[in-house]
C-alpha cells in the first residue's frame, strides 16, 4: 500500500512495524532502532545478511549524542557542512544502540536525511530509524514508491510516498580510523567536495568479510538482467550483436540502432546522471533484454560514484 499520510507510517512504526520512507538518496526500509522485532523484520524482508550494518537516521545534529560517543571534531565539521544531506558518518556507538543494528560492530552509521517528509516523520517519533534501501538485498535501489512495490511485490510493507528521490544514489559514507577520515562508500556527495572541507581522504570501499558500512560488498546494486560496463559502446554492441541489447548512456549519442536506450544526461551533467541512474536501470531491467551495456562515466566527481555502482552491478 502506498500512502502520502505520515500518521499512517507513525502508527505502523509505533507498533514495531516497518515502513518504506522517502529520502533524498533512495527509499529506505525503516524501523525503530530499539525494536528487535522491527530490525529483524528489516533484515528478513530485504533478505539481507545480519553482519551488514544499517544506517541510523536522526532528525537533527542535537540528536547525535543519543546514538554516538567519542565523536571527533572532524565529524562535527563534516556534519555542519553536509547535514541534512547524503553524508553518513560511522562513529563509535552509544551503548544503547543494539548490536543487531550495527552488524555486531561497536560503531554506528548515522545521518540526517534531507527530505521534508523524512524529517517531518523523524520529528514526530521518539526514536531514530534504521533505514537501508527498500529493496531486496543486492538488487537495484528504489528511487520511487513504484520501485519499492515492484521489488517486494505481494509482500510489500507500507510505502510513504515522497515522490522521486532527488539525489538518486545512496549517501557517501565516511568513517574514522585512528583519527583519520576514510571513505567507506562513494555516494551522492563527491569525494572532492568532502576533501575540500577536511583534506585528502583514503578510501576503503570493498570488504566482503566484515564490512564497516553498507555498500561495501563487491556484488550489489545489480539489475536482474546481465550488466556489462563498457569503455567502448560500439565494440560492445558488436560483441553482443546476437543478443537483445539495451544501452545505458551518459550523453545523447546518435547512430546506435538499438531499440532500448537510456540517456542519463543529454548535456553531460554528472549530478543529473546520478539522479537518473537507478530509474533508468529499472526501466531497462523491465524490457526483457538479454544484456544491458552501460557506458563508463568520466572518472571524476559523481562519475566515480556511478561507475562504482555499475561495477558492483556487473559482478
By C-alpha distance, which of 287, 214, 237, 229 is closest to 53?
A: 214
DSSP for 107-119, written as a single string: EEEEE----HHHH
Supply the pTM of this predicted model: 0.96
DSSP for 170-203, written as a single string: PPEEEEEETTEEEEEE--SS-HHHHHHHH---EE
Question: For the domain 226-314, what is the CATH code?
Answer: 3.40.50.11030
The alpha carbon of residue 43 and the mean position of all alpha carbons in its chain are separated, in whole angstroms, by 16
Angle at 309 between CA 304 and CA 311, to 5 degrees: 90
The fold of 2-173 is DHBP synthase (3.90.870)
**Cell numbers placing 166:** 532527488
209: Cβ–Cβ under 8 A, 6 or more apart, which residues? Answer: none
- The residue ranges of every structural domain in the chain are 2-173, 226-314
Q: Checking DSSP bridges between strand 260-263 and strand 245-249, what pairing results, if any?
A: parallel
10-residue stretch averages of pLDDT, the chain, 315 residues long:
95 98 98 98 96 97 97 96 98 97 97 98 98 96 96 89 97 93 97 96 88 87 95 93 95 80 95 98 96 96 97 88
User: Which pLDDT value is given to residue 254?
Assistant: 64
User: Do 236 and 205 touch, CB atoms closer than 8 A?
Assistant: no
Angle between helices 191-198 and 73-82 (to 10 degrees): 130
- Return d(Cα 202, Cα 210) in angstroms, integer: 18
- DSSP secondary structure code for residue 225 in this structure: S
Amino acid at each position: 500500500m502506498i500512502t502520502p499520510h505520515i500518521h499512517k507510517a507513525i502508527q505502523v512504526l509505533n507498533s514495531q512495524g516497518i515502513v518504506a520512507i522517502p529520502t533524498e538518496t533512495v527509499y529506505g526500509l525503516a524501523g525503530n532502532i530499539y525494536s528487535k522485532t522491527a530490525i529483524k523484520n528489516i533484515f528478513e524482508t530485504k533478505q539481507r545478511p545480519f553482519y551488514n550494518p544499517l544506517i541510523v537516521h536522526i532528525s537533527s545534529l542535537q540528536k547525535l549524542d543519543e546514538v554516538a560517543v567519542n565523536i571527533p571534531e572532524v565529524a562535527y565539521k563534516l556534519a555542519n557542512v553536509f547535514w541534512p544531506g547524503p553524508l553518513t558518518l560511522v562513529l563509535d556507538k552509544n551503548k544503547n544502540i543494539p548490536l543487531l543494528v550495527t552488524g555486531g560492530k561497536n560503531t554506528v552509521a548515522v545521518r540526517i536525511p534531507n527530505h521534508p517528509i523524512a524529517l517531518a516523520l523523524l520529528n514526530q517519533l521518539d526514536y531514530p530509524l534504521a533505514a537501508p534501501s527498500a529493496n531486496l538485498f543486492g538488487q537495484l535501489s528504489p528511487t520511487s514508491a513504484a520501485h519499492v512495490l515492484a521489488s517486494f511485490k505481494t509482500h510489500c510493507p507500507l510505502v510513504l510516498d515522497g515522490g522521486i528521490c532527488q539525489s538518486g544514489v545512496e549517501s557517501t559514507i565516511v568513517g574514522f580510523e585512528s583519527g583519520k577520515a576514510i571513505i567507506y562508500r562513494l555516494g551522492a556527495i563527491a569525494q572532492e567536495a568532502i576533501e575540500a572541507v577536511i583534506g585528502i581522504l583514503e578510501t576503503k570501499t570493498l570488504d566482503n568479510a566484515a564490512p564497516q558500512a553498507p555498500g561495501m560488498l563487491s556484488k550489489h546494486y545489480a539489475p536482474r538482467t546481465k550488466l556489462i560496463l563498457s569503455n567502448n559502446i560500439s565494440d560492445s554492441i558488436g560483441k553482443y550483436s546476437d543478443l537483445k541489447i539495451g544501452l545505458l548512456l551518459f550523453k545523447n549519442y546518435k547512430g546506435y540502432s538499438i531499440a532500448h536506450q537510456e540517456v542519463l544526461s543529454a548535456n553531460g551533467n554528472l549530478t543529473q546522471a546520478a539522479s537518473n541512474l537507478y530509474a533508468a536501470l529499472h526501466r531497462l531491467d523491465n524490457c526483457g533484454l538479454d544484456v544491458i551495456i552501460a557506458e563508463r562515466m568520466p572518472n571524476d566527481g559523481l562519475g566515480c560514484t556511478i561507475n562504482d555502482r555499475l561495477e558492483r552491478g556487473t559482478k
